[in-house]
Amino acid sequence: MYQRRDFIKKTALAGSGLLATPHLFAYNGSPNEKVVIGIMGTNSRGMFLAQSFAKLKNVEVGYICDVDTDVLAKTISEIEKQTGKKPQAFTDVRKMLEQKDLDGMAVSAPDHWHAPAAIMGLQAGKNVYVEKPCSHNPREGELLVEATNKYKKLVQMGSQRRTFTNVNEMITKLHNGVIGRVYFARGWYVNNRKSIGKGKIVAPPVNLDFDLWQGPAPRKSYQDNLVHYNWHWFWNWGTGEALNNGTHELDVIRWGLGVDYPTKVVSGGGRFHFQDDWETPDTQTITYNFANNTGCTWEGRSCNGLNSEGSGRGVIFYGEKGSVVYPGANDYKIFDQNNKLIFEAKDDTPFDPSNKVSPTALLDSLHLANFCEAIRGKEKINAPILEGHKSTLLPQLGNIAYRVGRTLNCDPTNGHILNDKEAMKLWSRDYERGWEIKI
């Protein structure tokens, strides 16, 4: 965490809305401490990451990697326009990782690439910023933690709320008993996504290296409703809304409840709204019990955007003496047991929960700056990969419970599913030959 002096300064700035200028918080020291970043996957979130890293002082976006040459050219042009310097282009991440001056790699490719690419980065001696979810399946998360410990480099997961100043304050108050013992939490995410239709099997566009796009995933034919976004809803490459967005709420919930792994997981839902190629649920609830006599739920509605508690996403903590409402950005409210508002933390930084690229864009830069400062040895990582794995595992277990259609009983020391061989088959995955993960 930040040192207290820095935390107080940033909290004051956050409350005043000055996060609109995120470069204020970047390191501004010796040019010898410049951090060189490479971005993998830049069509959407990756473009945002490239632009945001490039705004940080003494940070250079030196390398861009994407398997779509059109996306690659667009990102290179955008960063050159922004910084006056042209990044070097790669289509194969393995080639980018050979660059000696590369300090850190940001992984924003599709979910099936997250852990394999992050592990490649560690093996190449690079620090890694990996977008959530940190893995496609639970075993990959375990392997990523193992690789981090073995290769002794930094890995930050993109659970940026771990760096939001008021969220840190909120969690501290929860842990200090502001509403007594916290025993339950509810999280939610809503959107109004449209049908992806029925795709046709066609040849990939000439600008896309689809074989490299699939990378470690078992090969399937290209279809015209898959790239660049709808892969989220196919089990072979994506992880559904529970990991696409629920990872954020469940990370805050786990943090606030002070829990690691669950003892019981139940999930229900389905692809209810449209009849199309979408495989993961568009409507889902997941319920968890933990060993410390606490529990939580998460609800996802991908195709109905009606807000809950006035927000499209958020978390509520329920305790013996009241409740804390967190609407998803950098605000929160505390209510007593009689539902009277007793405290409110406000931050007027713009927040758009329906934004698919970055709902908290101006706040996210603090998390990226923390990664760069940690590379310099000036701060500690706010979202270390062990915490990222634990928070990613929760929605993964929810998806496994949904897919097998029954309650999962879990080992509270590591999250492993007990006495259910069918469910444990989904703990890991098969890989395309030659792409198996080796630590």
**List of domains in the chain:** 4-161 (3.40.50.720), 165-197+225-353+386-427 (3.30.360.10)
- What's the mean pLDDT in 15-39? 56
Highest-confidence range of 32-46, 339-353, 393-407, by mean pLDDT? 393-407
Report DSSP state, residue 276.
Answer: S
pLDDT tops 90 at residue 194 = yes
Give pLDDT, residue 348: 81
pLDDT tops 70 at residue 354 = no
Question: Read out DSSP for 35-102?
Answer: EEEEEE--SSHHHHHHHHHHHSTTEEEEEEE-SBHHHHHHHHHHHHHHHSSPPEEES-HHHHTT-TT-
274, 278, 280, 281 alpha-carbon torsion, rounded to 10°: -10
pLDDT tops 60 at residue 23 = no
pLDDT tops 50 at residue 6 = no
Give pLDDT, residue 14: 38
- Rounded Cα distance between 283 and 262, Å, is 22
Give pLDDT, residue 359: 65
Q: Of residues 72 and 18, which shows the higher confidence score?
A: 72
Q: Which of 245-254, 328-337, 342-351, 412-421 has the lowest mean pLDDT?
A: 342-351
How many CB atoms within 10 Å of residue 176? 7
If residue 104 lies in a helix (H) or strand (E), which one and from where to where?
Answer: strand 104-107
Question: pLDDT class for 32, splitting at 50, 70, 90?
Answer: low
Question: pLDDT class for 328, splitting at 50, 70, 90?
Answer: very high
- What's the mean pLDDT in 197-214? 98
pLDDT tops 70 at residue 230 = yes
Give pLDDT, residue 358: 67
pLDDT tops 60 at residue 314 = yes
- What's the mean pLDDT in 394-405? 98
Over the chain, what is the mean pLDDT? Answer: 92
Question: pLDDT class for 5, splitting at 50, 70, 90?
Answer: very low
Say whether 266 sits in a helix, a strand or coil: strand
Give pLDDT, residue 3: 37
pLDDT tops 90 at residue 356 = no
Give pLDDT, residue 175: 98
- What's the mean pLDDT in 310-335? 97
Secondary-structure breakdown of the chain: helix, strand, coil percentages, each rounded to the nearest 5? 35, 20, 40
How many CB atoms within 10 Å of residue 234? 23
Give pLDDT, residue 355: 63
Give pLDDT, residue 96: 98
pLDDT tops 70 at residue 27 = no
Give pLDDT, residue 362: 76
pLDDT digits (tens, 9 = 90+) for 129-187: 999 999 999 999 999 999 999 999 999 999 999 999 999 999 999 999 999 999 999 99
Q: What percent of the chain has pLDDT over 70?
A: 91
